[in-house]
Structures are given as structure tokens and as C-alpha cells.
Amino acid sequence: IPWWVLGASGMASNLDIAGTMIIVAFIYAIGTRGFYIEIRGGVTLIMAFLMIFMGKWNRRAGVMTLAEWMEFRFGKGKQGNIARFIMAIAMILITIAMITYFAKGAGKFVGEFLGISPDLAAFLMIVIAMIYTVSSGLYGVVYTDLFQGILIAFTIAYVCIFVFASGRFNIPETFSVSVPLLDGGFQEIKTTAQNWTNIIPKWRMNLPGEYAKYNLFGIAILFYVFKVAIEGSGGTGGYMIQRYFASKNDKEAGLLSLFWTSLLSFRWPFIASIAVMGIVYGVNHTVIADPESVLPVVINTYIPMGIKGLLVAGLIAAAMSTFDSTVNAGAAYWVKDIYQRNIKPDASEKSLMMMSRASSIVIVILGLLFSYTIRNINEIWGWITMSIGAGLMIPQLVRWYWWRINGYGFAIGTFVGMFAGILQKLLFPNIPEYTTFIIASGSSLIATILGTLLTSPTDEKVLLNFYKVTRPFGAWGPIREKFSQRFVSEINKENRRDIFSIFFAVPWQVCLFLMWMMLMMKRWDSFFILLLVAIVLSIILYFSWLNTL
């Protein structure tokens, strides 16, 4: 599949209703500083890591699923099997959580337009999306994503020009916004245009209710950055990584990431436009109480009829695209890595297809049922990114950089991290996200190390092949010394270049995204500073990374 198709498809699969609603909610309620909360996931900073080295490392394995990669790393014996099995269970669990997230967002969005309850709207959307998903595979997903990507690009361009040029949407000097409270209510807070559009993060905030957990703002951001560094350096899972498995070579893996990130940057002026419309709506009507409802409310109020239909279709298409990518990935883990591998190895193509459809339906029903226990989008997204996701990250990280980690250590670390994330949700649902991160990732780290050291190492032949093909950096001493000095120095040269480049790629992505928001908010001082920094970083990356592909 061509790199530009994979990049456009990746952008479409990242852009969904629930994600857009939660980011708009933070920008609306907190201002530009809300961007920093979404470093936890919504800013997709892992793209910088995939662009510089993680994308090509994954592609070099020559596999089609993350579970197959486990055999490439840990061998085809017991170690590879147990790592593959536990990874598949973890990915199915994440898929169910993502369906819940989708249901919460789609329910609020569609409910606003149809005038029905969010729960009923979620049910209808899930049924339609399920029919859509069950009738397509990965190739279908990639090409429908491309079409949806074009539709989304058109609607984003229209909304941004409409807000920027119409003269109706200027941010007033002072205005009120609203934040959610823990009891399900909302509280209005006053702010100023200067404060709301400020890009410099504060060390402490003074937010009430549900957002009070972000009041130690500096500490929260440091944890989000730390989490992204671990997640990015560990490579991602699920539907994102399949784009890299499908790419032709190292160069195309880099180009598809660059294209994907560049396309994703246009999501941010759209988000800023919606937030600005939300502010103006509050001045002209009443303040929108639920920040997560800003997106459907302003579209319903301000966007002209014909374009409104196209925009809603574009956003629902984006949601469908994320949904089908997620469900297809989850069903593939069940069919290929659990059913065909451990239950019925001689299953026919027809029975595998039936099993794929049945597992898709079961995963979706479980996700929908779970959504009825969740208060809002932020609750489920926070849990996915900073709790259960954090529990799965440590084994994903260590597998690349430490020769000694084996399949048992990986499986035990993954299982304990997953269990810690579920336990935290049941026993301590309202603790701050940096605490959930420490609990889940800390327990996973201890379990990974103990599980590895108490069991036998991976077969040396498997490790030699992995190092030779992947060419990673890190603690590979005993394996590295088995290769010629010339081969190792080639790898070291590539690794040094990648490590140097990543320190510029991350701020480049942040500047690119913030820059477009500042343009929409007409904060010209911040816009030109960010533009200048982005140009300088682009020049550095051209010579240190792009030129060497």
C-alpha cells in the first residue's frame, strides 16, 4: 500500500468524535493550556517517535500483527506463545475500552442533533458502525479511511475559514466558561482573553470539580511527557502499528509518519475554531454548561445547513474510521492469536471469517455495556491513557532495549499492569492521573523484572536475529559482541542520529500543532514565535533525519 495512502488513512483513524470532543472541552474550559493535558494521548506525540525510529524498527520485523512480532522477538516456543497470548488478551481489553470511549462520544454528539438521549444515540451509532465494520477488512479500512480523510480535510478547511474570516467570532476581553463537578453538575468560571489564549503553562491551577485533579498542573504535564517518552520509545500497538507493518521500506515508514503528522496538525485549528465559537455562543446565548457538548452545540447553531450535513457526515465518518480500525484489530487478535493458535489450529477460512465476525460483535457489545457505567468521555479516556495503558507500556518499552527480557517476563509484566489498571478503576476511580500512572506502571515494571530474572533467557539464535534485523540501541552488550565491529559501528551511527533527531522531532510536533491554534485565536505574537521555532526545527530535522532516509 503506498505510503501516502497509509499516512492519510492513519490521520483519519486518529481523528474521531470522542477525541475531538474531549480536546475541545479542555480548550474551551481551560484555554490553550488545555492542550498540555492532552499530551497524555490526544496530541499523539508518539508520532514523533514513530517518525524518527520506531516506525522503521517495527517495519523491519516483516510481520503483520503485534502478536506475530512477539514470536520474532521471543521465539516460537513457550516464551513466544505466552507473550503472544497475553498480548492478545491485553489488546482485546483495550479494544473494549476504546469502544466504550467511542460510544460515550458518539452518543453525546448524535444525541444533540437527533434530540434523543446520549445512551440511545450511542446504541444506534454502535449498531450502524458494527454493520459497517463486520463487512470490511484491513484493505477496505485503509481505502475508506483515505476517502473519509479527504471529506474531513474539506470540512476542517471550511470551518477554519468560516471562523477566521467571518468577523463574527472574535474572543471578548472577559467571558465565562464552565467546568464539570464530581456530582454531575457544572460550575461557571470567569476568565479573560489574555489568560485563555496564553500558551505558557502554569505550575499550579485553581480549577473546581472534576478538573481539580489537574491543579498540580506542572507535575501533571511532567508525568504526561514522561508517559509519552515511554510510550513512544516502546512503539504503539493496535491499529496504528498495522500501518507500519504494511509499509514497503524504512524510507516509506518515515515518509508516512511525516505525512500523517502534517495532516494531523490541521486538526488543531479546527479544535481552536470550535472552542472560539463556544466562547462566542456563551456571550450571545447562555454559557455551554458541559464542555464535552461544545462541539455539537456550535455546529448545530452556527454552521449553515448544507455544510452542517457534510461536517456531521465527515465527523461521523471519522468516528466510523476509528471504530472499524479498532474493532478489526481487536477481532484479529482473538482470531489469529487465540482461536486459530490455541483452540482450533485446523480451522477453515470460512470458520475463521465467521469467528472474526462473531468476535467483533461480542467485543462491541461488551464495550457498549461498559459505557453505561462511565460518567463522561474524560473518565474513560483518562483510564485508557494513564491507567490501563500505563500498565501495558513498561513491557512494551523494555522488549526493545534489554536483551535479557524474555517472553515470560513480558507476559507477567503485561498481565500485572493490566490487572493493576482494572483494580484501580474498581477501588480508586477518582484519584489523580499521575497516581494511577505510578500504580499501574510501577507494578508492571517490578513484575517484568522479576518475571524475567526468575526464568530462563530467550534462545540466543532468536536474539541474534532480532538484533541483526531491527538494529536497536540499549542494553544489548552480550548480543552485540557476537557481531563484527564494522556492523556494530554502522548500527551505532544510525542510533546516534536517531537519538539526536528525536530531541527536535517532539518540540517540532508541539510547535506545529500550537501554531495553528494561535492563528485561529489571532494571537499573532505567539503565532510568529511558534512559526519561527517550527522552521528552525524543520531545517535541523531535514539534515539530521529526512536527508538520511
CA within 13 Å, CB half, 450: 10
pLDDT band at 309 (very low <50, low <70, confident <90, very high): confident
Query: Cα(318)–Cα(517) distance, rounded to whole angstroms?
Result: 21
Q: Is the pTM of this model over 0.85?
A: yes
State the pLDDT confidence band at 242, using cuts at 50, 70 and 90: confident
pLDDT at 285 over 90: yes
Its domain, for residue 497, covers 3-548
Query: How many distinct structural domains can be found in the chain?
Result: 1
pLDDT surpassing 90 at residue 295: yes
Taking residues 409-437, report their average pLDDT.
Answer: 92
Q: Is residue 165 predicted with pLDDT exceeding 60?
A: yes
- pLDDT over 90 at 456, yes or no: yes
The whole-number average pLDDT for the span 241-249 is 86
CATH of the domain at 216: 1.20.1730.10
The predicted-structure confidence for 66-98, as pLDDT tens digits, reads as follows 777 888 999 988 998 999 899 889 989 999 999
Across the range 489-501, mean pLDDT stands at 96
Average pLDDT over residues 124-146: 73
Predicted pLDDT of residue 362: 94
Is residue 530 over pLDDT 90?
yes
pLDDT for residue 314: 79
The answer to whether residue 238 scores a pLDDT higher than 70 is: no
Q: Which residue has the higher pLDDT, 142 or 412?
A: 412
- Predicted local distance difference test score (pLDDT) of residue 153: 84
Residue with cell string 488513512: 9
Q: What is the mean pLDDT of residues 474-487?
A: 95
| pLDDT of amino acid 136 | 60
Q: What is the Cα–Cα distance from 66 to 88, expressed in whole angstroms?
A: 9
* Cell numbers linked to 530: 511558534
Per-residue pLDDT, 179: 95
User: Which residue reads 503483520 in cell numbers?
Assistant: 64
pLDDT value for 180? 93
Please return the burial class of 473, using the count of CB atoms within 10 Å of its CB with bins 0-12, 13-18 and 19+: middle
Q: Among the listed ranges 70-74, 124-128, 145-149, which one has the minimum average pLDDT value?
A: 145-149
pLDDT at 237: 67
Distances (CA, A) of 187 to 80, 210, 211, 224: 52, 10, 11, 26
How much is the pLDDT for 322? Answer: 76
Ranking 133-142, 294-303, 452-461, 472-481 by mean pLDDT, the lowest is 133-142
Residue 82: what pLDDT?
Answer: 93
Quick check: 115 pLDDT over 60? yes
pLDDT in tens, 380-418: 999 998 999 999 999 999 999 999 999 999 999 999 999
Question: Which cell is 316 given?
Answer: 461521523
User: Which has more confidence, 311 or 107?
Assistant: 107
pLDDT at 254: 94
Residue 135's pLDDT band (cuts 50, 70, 90): low
Residue 523 sits at φ, ψ, to 5 deg, of: -95, 80
Mean pLDDT across the stretch 212-223? 92
pLDDT for the residue 324:
79
Q: Tell me the average pLDDT of the chain.
A: 91
CA distance 126 to 319: 10
In this model, does residue 270 exceed pLDDT 90? yes
Per-residue model confidence (pLDDT) at position 475: 95
